[in-house]
Chain A
Amino acid sequence: MKALTRVAQLVLALVLLCALTAPWLAPKRYDEPFRESISTTPSREFPLGTDELGRDRFSRLLYATAISAVLAPAAALTSICLGLLLATLAPLRSQLLRFPLSIFTTLTLSIPWIFPFILLRAVLPLNTSPATSILLTFALIGVAGWAYPGRVLAGTMRDIADSDWLLLARASGIPAVRIFTRQIWPHLRAVCLAQFRTLIPAYILSEASLGLLGLGVAEPLPSWGNMLMELQYPSRIQANPAILAPLGLLIAVMVCLEILGNRPQRIS
């Protein structure tokens, strides 16, 4: 098991390194079309071949890794921050405040995550820039997912508020800031970290599903999700099996994350 963990760590480190160095590592630009080499099979010049617009698949995969691997943790961080913010209201005894919060949580948990994205896509203007689409996709993934960590953090906050040690610390006259930094935060940090680790694979999967439906990151920017759109054409896969490379990389990353104990949340 230790060896498996080491391999998973190594694979993830390599993927992250490729993601961070994509602009230097990629032999071509992600949006550069080569009109004389449309839908070619792997060659020395194009290691994974080219797509139907003549763009180098390998370079696009590197950039896609950069986008998906960097923005999924950013979205997870957004969810944790929002969850933490709303969880601070959990220890309040007032039913007037707790009931709306409970309604809000139920409402967020009630809507299958794909519906807000469909609605957003319908509302967005047709000429939305790719950069905006990236930010909106991951921001919405982050915002839509707040309720899952929010619920866990709210439970932790309630436990902390009812704990004897907090009462003792207050009775001892320890300043509020010190109580928070020395007593409360270490408890919350562990929960936040655990939630953060389970949200990352969930968000990677969410982006992949959205991309496959054409609701995620807009062209010409690549992401693991929109590179999977080619899976809808079996004839292309037969002609060039390298089209499966993004899926292979995605599954490898997900399996490695799971080996390291990051099981995706239910949102996926």
Chain B
Amino acid sequence: MIAGGPRRIWLALLTVLTVTALSGLVSALMVRYSPGYGVDSTDLDPRLSAETVRAIHERQAVESNPLRFYVHYLGGVLRGDFGTSQSFQQPIGDLLADRAPATVRLVLLGTSAGWLWAFSLAALTVHFRRPLWGAGAATITGVLLAVPPSVFALLFYYADAPLTVAVGIMLVPRLYGTLRVLLESLSQSDLLIAARARGLRRGTLGVHYFLQLASGQLASLFGIASVIAFGFAVPIEALCDHPGIGQLAWKAALSRDMPLLSAIALVVTVFVATIHTAGELVAREDA
């Protein structure tokens, strides 16, 4: 149960809804004012009568009002209709559905691997409490942090290594610091010291005390890590020819396909805002 009662949950829901509405507005305006909007090839189709062309123009005129267009666009989005991609000449919803599994797999597997490695490194550093361990971990994370993610992705691509491993390794330095601080503060908490003093076994300590104390924050950190991994997905997919949403966004940018780009931006924003808000809710509950 979330502390602070339903008010906090309602506020979180309101935040996600407002972010969705705002990003939807931005997306709709970008589509509405993108170059070439409203230009219709049917104008030049000799098979259509003057009445038909006029009817098409009248229908388009209704959508020339940005507010009406927004309502129409949002209505379509809620039904899963994002419009048609200018460059691929396919429904955007289908394109997103085709590409999403590859990105979700890359992000989820990469995040899980990165989170696990960072957690193990932080746990070892906190457990052994030797300066050499700390210095070693700092050196590893420092060097990893100094390499741009795109370069790292290219390196893995050339080595024919799994891209999920690349995402995982890139996440390690970005998670290690936070996890180490969290583990250090937990290991020095009164509850754990008292439990240790009572002679409880390590397994019991880990499952009954540590996980209960930190599960919320660890879950929240996993959410944030998946958002960072999603950011990595664009350069990785673009440079390494991985057919996911990142590569789709990249191709849409190159071909200036605003309806597709706007739809991707909307989906990404809603996905990330939901994770952020849920993470904050859980972390606050834990604190």
Q: Distance in Å from the Cβ of A30 to the closest Cβ of chain B? A: 21
Q: Distance in Å from the Cβ of B37 to the closest Cβ of chain A? A: 13
Q: Which residues of chain A come closer than 8 Å to B150, judged between CB atoms?
A: 208-209, 212-213, 228
Is B154 within 8 A of A209, CB to CB? Answer: no
Is A122 within 8 A of B256, CB to CB? Answer: yes
Bound-state Cα–Cα, A111 to B261, Å? 13
Q: Count of A-B contacts with CB under 8 A?
A: 114
Which of A111, A122, A259 sits near B272, CB closer than 8 Å? A111
- For residue A119, CB closer than 8 A to chain B, the reply is yes
- For residue B265, CB closer than 8 A to chain A, the reply is yes
Q: Find residues 242-280 in chain B having any chain A CB closer than 8 Å to their own CB.
A: 249-250, 252-253, 256-258, 261, 264-265, 268-269, 272-273, 276-277
Which of B151, B250, B257, B273 sits near A106, CB closer than 8 Å? B273
Is B147 within 8 A of A118, CB to CB? Answer: no
Task: Indicate whether A118 sits within 8 Å of B253 (C-beta atoms), given known contacts A106-B273, A112-B268.
Answer: yes
Q: Which residues of chain B come closer than 8 Å to A213, judged between CB atoms?
A: 150, 234-235, 238-239, 250
**Which of A57-65, A167-175, A183-191, A249-257 is the contact stretch?**
A249-257
Which of A118, A205, A232, A263 sits near B154, CB closer than 8 Å? A232
- For residue A109, CB closer than 8 A to chain B, the reply is yes
Q: Find residues 140-158 in chain B having any chain A CB closer than 8 Å to their own CB.
A: 142-143, 145-151, 154, 158
Bound-state Cα–Cα, A247 to B147, Å? 8
Is A258 within 8 A of B234, CB to CB? Answer: no
Q: Distance in Å from the Cβ of A142 to the closest Cβ of chain B? A: 18
- For residue B122, CB closer than 8 A to chain A, the reply is no
Q: Mark B210-228, 1 if CB is under 8 A from A, else 0.
A: 0000000000000010011
Report the interface size class on chain B. Answer: 35 or more
Q: Is the interface of B mostly helix, strand, loop or mixed?
A: helix
- For residue B53, CB closer than 8 A to chain A, the reply is no
Which of A107, A122, A209 sits near B258, CB closer than 8 Å? A122
**Which of B16-24, B39-47, B77-85, B110-118 is the contact stretch?**
B16-24
Task: Indicate whether A111 sits within 8 Å of B146 (C-beta atoms), given known contacts A122-B253, A122-B256, A215-B253.
Answer: no
Q: Is the interface of A mostly helix, strand, loop or mixed?
A: helix
Q: Distance in Å from the Cβ of A124 to the closest Cβ of chain B? A: 9
Is B15 within 8 A of A228, CB to CB? Answer: no
Q: Mark A124-158, 1 if CB is under 8 A from B, else 0.
A: 00000000000000000000000000000000000
Bound-state Cα–Cα, A124 to B147, Å? 29
- For residue B174, CB closer than 8 A to chain A, the reply is yes
- For residue B230, CB closer than 8 A to chain A, the reply is yes
Q: Which residues of chain B come closer than 8 Å to A266, judged between CB atoms?
A: 174, 224, 228
Q: Mark A200-232, 1 if CB is under 8 A from B, else 0.
A: 000001001100110100000000000010011
- For residue B134, CB closer than 8 A to chain A, the reply is no
Report the interface size class on chain A. Answer: 35 or more
Bound-state Cα–Cα, A55 to B280, Å? 51
Is B146 within 8 A of A121, CB to CB? Answer: no
Q: Which residues of chain B come closer than 8 Å to A122, judged between CB atoms?
A: 252-253, 256-258, 261
- Residue of A with least CB distance to B271: A110
Q: Find residues 86-113 in chain A having any chain B CB closer than 8 Å to their own CB.
A: 102-103, 106-107, 109-113
- Residue of B with least CB distance to A103: B18
Which of A112, A215, A247 sits near B231, CB closer than 8 Å? A112
Among A118, A215, A251, A268, which residue has the most Cβ atoms of chain B within 10 A? Answer: A118
Interface residues of A (CB under 8 A from B): 102-103, 106-107, 109-115, 118-119, 121-123, 205, 208-209, 212-213, 215, 228, 231-232, 234, 247, 250-251, 254-255, 258-259, 263-264, 266, 268
Known: A213-B238, A232-B239. 13 other contacts (CB 8 A): A107-B269, A109-B276, A110-B272, A112-B231, A114-B235, A118-B234, A123-B258, A205-B149, A212-B148, A231-B154, A250-B148, A258-B142, A259-B142
16 residue pairs from A and B, CB less than 8 Å apart: A103-B18, A107-B23, A110-B269, A110-B276, A112-B227, A118-B252, A119-B253, A119-B265, A205-B149, A209-B148, A209-B149, A213-B235, A251-B147, A258-B145, A266-B224, A268-B145
